[in-house]
């Protein structure tokens, strides 16, 4: 079985991320699964970047412990990550950059391969941007992959730049390949043979797949202010805006972002915004406005370690309570948290439908770990979904329906709490969306009776959601194991990976719908399990607190990680061993 | 039909509840001019969007019956920009206070002007926060005494016209709420103007700012002369500096520049909300991820 990890490190600006992306695509195009994890500081140049690609012929849900092939394009990579290389692994280094005598550990069974990257660049008068091609060439030899796949990728990437550029990039890769052949005598590390039957896969990040979901869901207005880890949604949708028929606006601040989106949504455009904790803090007043005016909106909340500016390029799940409780006053909101790219696609499409159906804010909680890393997912899995995806705009009236209503009331009291929506511009649509408390026709009111009726009406949407759209968490794994792991969102990956590697000594309750929760159903559901282990990427066990509040069930056993790094499968396995 | 009944009839098209403003408040004049302007322009209440800020000014939402969004304090402009992008066929008008527009939401004014979003922003300039019962607004004079500045305001006032002019607004005007006919014309010109329009309207707050009442403005405002060159930005900037002794009213600046939505090819054929979104083909988007 093939399951190995390549780690590439170098200075920011060396094209490390592109090298990792190409490697992942080469793996998926050869018929394998791949999972990417990157670490980089919040700097543009000079900082130390690393990217890990785990390649396997079985589905792979997370990064793993240990590295099989470490490619050092700077000294720090060797210094900081040399010890991660497993016995029998390979370290590729450039002796102009790395102190060979310090790097080599005679007591370890590691192959040290010297590739003179700097000299190759110099002797061939190649610019720095060619470094990643040379590195890819080296990798292609060491993992025994098909050079043709790399050549095709280069051609696709530089198609618009012309034949000459394509040839130059390919030549650089060949230089790397030949050098590796010369210096690495024991044949190859792994044979990434192209499989005879290849089911096509997408190799895609959470951010990109949320963008795809938004396109499919008919998002018409996307508004954002850049903030890691959500900026790439803005970049992706901006690059597709015209083709998709979306207007993408980079507004002056997050306050403007969400108010513009609400204006657009009120006028009838499906609207989405994305940000991280700091930007979301600025949006919160308008989250409440969405609740009060009953204007649909989808908000992607990409978490990173806080408080304040925190650690911008690292990962955490520290904002669950903040998001669930966001917005002053009482109003329903829906909070979703996908666990992997497949789920992120599905829940993004669903978020738009829920926002229209319940006319209230719908939040998608993600994090740097899910949003920025590439994961392979069967093309079929996404494609079969989007063929079935339906656009449900809830009680949005057509012009014909509106004309049949004698005296239209925007905030009509209804049993399910949802009133029909007309759009400005429609004939007989006269109404107002009001941030003040209002009566059925939208006029401001301070009347006690009308106030209570409108609060009750809005709150009834929650009951409607609980009866129509609430889903219990998904359970993965064995039926009656001695231990049940409980977690949410992106921790699904490391947990499923640990489950696979430990041979199923536990099962996993995965929360991807975090609010509203049906307390009664949940209590009964959780009551079926025995011993729990709560795993969260935060320091206070926020999901655990929420579940205790909802059900009275306590979670004394916890694995909490808040170093800015995701939980690793081996950490889960160690903890589980301790408990069993 | 004599003139009076005709006015009464057309004004009723936009008539909401009777205003709760203090008797004598300058808001009545703006309200009246707005309704007259809407009627003269033959706007239809359900085929337009009025975005209100929060303040005594914003409370007009209940007195002016048109499709409207009563937004958050300071955020009427971004809300309006969103509406306009989603449906650029709708006339979009913002009614907001000076605290709304130059204080809480000051940033939005600059950026909406830069973008030349085709909205008309009408600011009720009373140099005070009316609804919160009398603190200084950003337009208050240096030294102004108020509930929040009992010793007198330390800051100098913002200069709304200069701000809008230097940030790219293509229509900048100033009016006085007591001069209804003149104000009605300004509002009509602002709505007819294709691009970002700011109309700063002097609106006496008789309750919390008697120092800047009707007499104060009557003694100082003068109408820009018929031969005033409103296309000259430098001249307009000069006029914008006349803040205290002699204060110009009228169209201070007007120029043509393509509006924000003109640059969006997605909107060439239809308004965004008119597009069919039910069947977008993802196949053409997924190839790059394989
Ligand atoms: C975020 C926020 N801060 C404060 C307030 C309270 N508030 C309501 S209106 C207002 C100021 C109103 O002044 P202005 O905008 O000049 O309008 P006016 O009442 O004078 O017409 C304030 C501070 C609010 N509603 N929202
Ligand atoms: S407080 Fe001032 S602005 Fe408000 S209604 Fe009274 S007079 Fe008008």
Looking at residue A298, its pLDDT comes to: 99
User: Hunting for tokens 């110009």 — which residue is that?
Assistant: B248
Looking at residue B7, its pLDDT comes to: 43
Domains of chain B: 19-289 (3.40.50.970)
Mean pLDDT in chain B? 95
Q: Taking every pair of C-alpha atoms in chain B, what is the biggest distance, in angstroms?
A: 74
Q: What is the CA radius of gyration of chain A?
A: 26
Sign of torsion over alpha carbons A534, A537, A538, A543: negative
Please answer yes or no on whether A386 and B282 come within 8 Å at the CB atom. yes
Looking at residue A188, its pLDDT comes to: 65
- Encode pLDDT of A86-102 as tens digits: 999 999 999 888 888 88
Rounded to 10°, the helix A206-216/A341-358 angle is 40
pLDDT at residue B2 above 80?
A: no
Please answer yes or no on whether A424 and B48 come within 8 Å at the CB atom. yes
CB of B57 closer than 8 Å to CB of B104: no
Looking at residue A191, its pLDDT comes to: 79
ipTM of this model? 0.96
Distance CA B128, CA A214 (A): 44
Residue of B nearest to A243 (CA): B266
Which residues, in sequence order, are bridge partners of residue A483?
Answer: A531
Residue A501, classified by CB atoms within 10 Å of its CB into exposed (0-12), middle (13-18) or buried (19+), is: middle
Q: A256 at the B interface (CB within 8 A)?
A: yes
CB of A92 closer than 8 Å to CB of A116: no
Phi, psi (degrees; rounded to nearest 5) at A39: -135, 130
CB of B93 closer than 8 Å to CB of B45: no
Looking at residue B6, its pLDDT comes to: 39
Q: Is B29 in the pocket of ligand 1 (CB under 6 A)?
A: no
Q: How does B157-178 read in b/e, with b if 16+ C-beta sit within 10 Å? A: bbbbbbbbbebbbbbbbbbbbb
Distance CA A262, CA B72 (A): 11
Distance CA A493, CA A566 (A): 10
Average pLDDT over residues A49-75: 95
- Using CA atoms, how far residue A235 sits from A19, A157, A238, A529, B40, in Å, is 20, 17, 5, 43, 45
- Encode pLDDT of B27-77 as tens digits: 999 999 999 999 999 999 999 999 999 999 999 999 999 999 999 999 999
Confidence bin at A18 (pLDDT 50/70/90): very high
Looking at residue A340, its pLDDT comes to: 98
Confidence bin at A42 (pLDDT 50/70/90): confident
pLDDT at residue A442 above 80?
A: yes
Atom of ligand 1 nearest to the CA of B57: 21
pLDDT at residue A247 above 60?
A: yes
Q: A432 at the B interface (CB within 8 A)?
A: yes
- Encode pLDDT of A204-228 as tens digits: 999 999 999 999 999 999 999 999 9
Phi, psi (degrees; rounded to nearest 5) at A527: -65, -20
Q: Which of residues 104-143 of B touch A (CB under 8 A)?
A: 107-108, 110-111
Q: Is B54 in the pocket of ligand 1 (CB under 6 A)?
A: yes
Q: Which residues of A fall within a CB distance of 8 Å from B280? A: 215-216, 218, 244-245
Name the closest-CA residue to atom 22, ligand 1: B132
- Encode pLDDT of A356-402 as tens digits: 999 999 999 999 999 999 999 999 999 998 888 899 999 999 999 99
Q: Are strands B49-52 and A513-515 parallel, antiparallel or unpaired?
A: unpaired
Q: A382 at the B interface (CB within 8 A)?
A: yes
Cis peptide leading into residue A516 (ω within 30°): yes
Name the closest-CA residue to atom 9, ligand 1: B55
Looking at residue B8, its pLDDT comes to: 42
Q: Is A250 helix (H, G, I), strand (E, B) or coil?
A: strand
The continuous run of DSSP H or E covering A177 comes out as helix A163-183
Q: A290 at the B interface (CB within 8 A)?
A: no
> Chain centroid to CA A520: how far?
30
Count of Cβ atoms closer than 10 Å to residue A556 Cβ: 9
pTM flag (> 0.95) = yes
pLDDT at residue B1 above 80?
A: no
Distance CA A34, CA A60 (A): 6
User: Hunting for tokens 């790439």 — which residue is that?
Assistant: A232
| A-interface mutation test, from B46, B104, B278, B284, most A Cβ less than 10 A away | B46
Option in B47, B282, B289 nearest A425 (CB): B47
Please answer yes or no on whether A247 and B272 come within 8 Å at the CB atom. yes
- Encode pLDDT of B181-221 as tens digits: 999 999 999 999 999 999 999 999 999 999 999 999 999 99
Give the length of chain B: 290
Q: Copy the structure tokens of residue B24.
A: 């004598």
Mean pLDDT in chain A? 95
Q: Copy the structure tokens of residue A373.
A: 């890393």
Name the closest-CA residue to atom 1, ligand 2: B130
Q: Which residues of A fall within a CB distance of 8 Å from B108? A: 252, 256
Cis peptide leading into residue A307 (ω within 30°): yes
Residue A441, classified by CB atoms within 10 Å of its CB into exposed (0-12), middle (13-18) or buried (19+), is: middle
Please answer yes or no on whether A221 and B85 come within 8 Å at the CB atom. yes
Name the closest-CA residue to atom 6, ligand 2: B22
Looking at residue A3, its pLDDT comes to: 94
CA angle B81, B83, B84 (to 5 degrees): 65
pLDDT at residue B281 above 60?
A: yes
Please answer yes or no on whether B90 and A425 come within 8 Å at the CB atom. yes
- Encode pLDDT of A268-297 as tens digits: 999 999 999 999 999 999 999 999 999 999
Q: Which residues of B fall within a CB distance of 8 Å from A386? A: 282
Distance CA A449, CA A453 (A): 6
Give the length of chain A: 580
Q: Are strands B92-97 and B68-70 parallel, antiparallel or unpaired?
A: unpaired
Distance CA B98, CA B212 (A): 14
Please answer yes or no on whether A201 and B290 come within 8 Å at the CB atom. yes
Which residues, in sequence order, are bridge partners of residue B191?
Answer: none
pLDDT at residue B10 above 70?
A: no
Cis peptide leading into residue A229 (ω within 30°): yes
Q: Is B99 in the pocket of ligand 1 (CB under 6 A)?
A: yes
DSSP string computed for A535-565: EESSSS-HHHHHHHHHH------EEE--SSS
pLDDT at residue B82 above 70?
A: yes
Reduce the secondary structure of chain B to three states and give it as a string.
CCHHHHHHHHHHHHECCCCCCCCCCCHHHHHHHHHHHHHHCCCCHHHCEEEECCCCCHHHHHCECCCEEECCCCCHHHHHHHHHHHCCCCCEEEEEEHHHHHHHCHHHHHHHHHHCCCCEEEEEECCEECCCCCEECCCCCCCCCCCCCCCCCCCCCCCHHHHHHHCCCCEEEEEECCCHHHHHHHHHHHHHCCCCEEEEEECCCCCCCHHHCHHHHHHHEEECCCCCCCCCHHHHHHHHCCCCCCEEEEEEEECCCCCHHHHCHHHCCCCHHHCCCCCCCCHHHHHHHC
- Encode pLDDT of B264-277 as tens digits: 999 999 999 999 99
Q: Is A507 helix (H, G, I), strand (E, B) or coil?
A: strand
Count of Cβ atoms closer than 10 Å to residue B40 Cβ: 14
Looking at residue A553, its pLDDT comes to: 97
Looking at residue B3, its pLDDT comes to: 38
Q: Is A79 helix (H, G, I), strand (E, B) or coil?
A: helix
Pick from A59, A39, A356, A50: which is nearest to A228 by CA? A39
Looking at residue A386, its pLDDT comes to: 87
Q: Which of residues 213-252 of A touch B (CB under 8 A)?
A: 215-216, 218, 220-221, 223, 240-247, 249, 251-252
Looking at residue A187, its pLDDT comes to: 59
Q: Which residues of B fall within a CB distance of 8 Å from A269? A: 85-87, 272-273
CB of B112 closer than 8 Å to CB of B68: no
DSSP string computed for A305-320: S-STT--TTS-----H
CB of A52 closer than 8 Å to CB of A7: yes
- Encode pLDDT of A522-557 as tens digits: 999 999 999 999 999 999 999 999 999 999 999 999
Looking at residue B14, its pLDDT comes to: 82
Domains of chain A: 3-198 (3.40.920.10), 203-388 (3.40.50.970), 399-468 (no CATH), 474-579 (3.40.50.920)
> Chain centroid to CA B203: how far?
13
Q: Is A181 helix (H, G, I), strand (E, B) or coil?
A: helix
Option in B46, B69, B266 nearest A426 (CB): B46
DSSP string computed for A445-466: ---HHHHHHHHHHHHHHHHHHH
Phi-psi label, residue A327: left if phi above 0, alpha if psi -120 to 50, beta otherwise: left
Looking at residue A302, its pLDDT comes to: 98
pLDDT-above-70 percentage for chain B: 96
User: How close, in Å, is residue B151 to chain A by CA atoms?
Assistant: 32
Which residues, in sequence order, are bridge partners of residue A93?
Answer: A114
């Amino acid at each position: 079985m093939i399951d190995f990890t390549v780690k590439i490190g170098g200075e920011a600006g060396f094209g490390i991320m592109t090298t990792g992306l190409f490697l992942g695509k080469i793996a998926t195009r050869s018929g394998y699964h791949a999972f990417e994890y990157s670490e980089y500081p919040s700097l543009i140049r000079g900082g130390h970047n690393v990217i890990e690609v785990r390649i396997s012929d079985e589905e792979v849900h997370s990064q793993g412990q240990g590295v099989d092939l470490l490619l050092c394009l700077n000294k720090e990579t060797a210094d900081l990550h040399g010890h991660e290389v497993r016995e029998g692994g390979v370290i590729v280094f450039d002796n102009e950059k790395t102190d060979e005598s310090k790097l080599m550990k005679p007591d370890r069974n590691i192959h040290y391969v010297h590739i003179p990257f700097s000299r190759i660049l110099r002797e061939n008068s190649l610019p720095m941007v060619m470094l990643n091609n040379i590195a890819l060439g080296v990798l292609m030899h060491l993992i025994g992959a098909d050079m043709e796949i790399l050549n095709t990728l280069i051609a696709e990437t530089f198609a618009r730049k012309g034949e000459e550029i394509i040839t130059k990039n390919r030549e650089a890769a060949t230089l790397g390949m030949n050098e590796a052949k010369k210096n690495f005598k024991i044949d190859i590390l792994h044979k990434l043979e192209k499989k005879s039957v290849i089911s096509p896969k997408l190799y895609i990040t959470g951010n990109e797949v949320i963008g795809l979901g938004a396109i499919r869901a008919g998002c018409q207005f996307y508004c954002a202010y850049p903030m890691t880890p959500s900026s790439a949604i803005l970049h992706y949708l901006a690059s597709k805006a015209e083709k998709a028929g979306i207007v993408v606006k980079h507004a002056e601040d997050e306050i403007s972002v969400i108010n513009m989106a609400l204006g657009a949504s009120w006028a009838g455009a499906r609207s989405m915004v994305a940000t991280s904790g700091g930007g979301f803090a600025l949006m919160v007043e308008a989250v409440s406005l969405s609740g009060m005016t009953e204007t649909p909106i989808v908000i992607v909340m990409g978490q990173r370690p806080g408080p304040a500016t925190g650690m911008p390029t690292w990962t955490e799940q520290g904002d669950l309570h903040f998001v669930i409780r966001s917005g002053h006053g009482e109003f329903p909101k829906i909070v979703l948290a996908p666990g992997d790219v497949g789920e992120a696609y599905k829940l993004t499409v669903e978020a738009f439908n829920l926002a229209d159906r319940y006319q209230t804010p719908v939040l998608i909680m993600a994090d740097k770990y899910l949003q920025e890393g590439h994961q392979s997912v069967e093309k079929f899995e996404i494609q079969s979904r989007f063929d079935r995806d339906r656009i449900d705009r809830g009680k949005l009236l057509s012009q014909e329906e509106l004309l049949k209503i004698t005296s239209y009331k925007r905030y009509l009291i209804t049993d399910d709490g949802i009133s029909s929506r007309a759009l400005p511009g429609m004939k007989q649509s006269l109404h107002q969306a009001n941030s003040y408390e209002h009566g059925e026709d939208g006029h401001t009111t301070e009347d006690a009776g009308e106030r209570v009726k409108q609060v009750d009406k809005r709150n009834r949407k929650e009951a409607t959601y609980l009866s129509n759209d609430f889903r219990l968490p998904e359970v993965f794994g064995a039926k009656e194991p001695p231990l049940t792991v409980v977690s949410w969102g992106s921790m699904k990956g490391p947990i499923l990976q640990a489950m696979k590697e430990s041979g199923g000594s536990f099962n996993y309750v995965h929360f991807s719908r975090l609010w509203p929760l049906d307390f009664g159903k949940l209590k009964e559901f959780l009551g079926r399990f025995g011993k729990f282990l709560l795993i969260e990427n935060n320091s206070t066990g926020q999901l655990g607190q929420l579940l205790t509040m909802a059900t009275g069930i306590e979670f004394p056993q916890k694995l909490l990680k808040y170093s800015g790094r995701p939980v690793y499968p081996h950490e889960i396995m160690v903890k589980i061993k301790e408990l069993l | 039909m004599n003139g009076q009944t005709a006015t009464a009839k057309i004004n009723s098209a936009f008539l909401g509840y009777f205003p709760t403003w203090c008797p004598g408040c300058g808001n009545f004049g703006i309200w009246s001019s707005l309704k007259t302007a809407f009627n003269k322009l033959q706007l239809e209440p359900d085929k337009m969007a009025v975005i209100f800020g929060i303040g005594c000014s914003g409370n007009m939402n209940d007195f002016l019956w048109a499709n409207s969004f009563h937004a958050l304090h300071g955020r009427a402009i971004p809300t309006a920009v969103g509406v306009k992008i989603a449906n650029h066929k709708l006339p979009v008008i913002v009614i907001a206070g000076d605290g709304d527009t130059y204080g809480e939401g000051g940033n939005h004014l600059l950026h909406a002007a830069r973008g030349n979003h085709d909205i008309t922003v009408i600011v009720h300039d009373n140099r005070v926060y009316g609804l919160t019962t009398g603190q200084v607004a950003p337009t208050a004079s240096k030294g102004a005494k108020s509930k929040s500045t009992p010793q007198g305001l330390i800051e100098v006032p913002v200069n709304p016209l200069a701000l809008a002019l230097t940030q790219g607004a293509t229509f900048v005007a100033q009016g006085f709420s007591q001069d209804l006919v003149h104000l009605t014309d300004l509002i009509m010109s602002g709505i007819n103007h294709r691009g970002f329009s700011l109309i700063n309207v002097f609106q006496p707050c008789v309750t919390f700012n008697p120092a800047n009442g009707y007499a104060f403005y009557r003694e100082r405002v003068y109408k820009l002369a018929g031969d005033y060159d409103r296309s000259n930005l430098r001249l307009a900037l000069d006029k914008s500096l006349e803040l205290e002794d002699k204060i110009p009213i009228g169209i201070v600046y007007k120029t043509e520049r393509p509006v924000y939505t003109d640059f969006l090819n997605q909107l060439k054929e239809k308004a965004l909300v008119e597009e069919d979104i039910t069947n977008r083909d993802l196949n053409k988007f997924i190839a790059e991820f394989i």
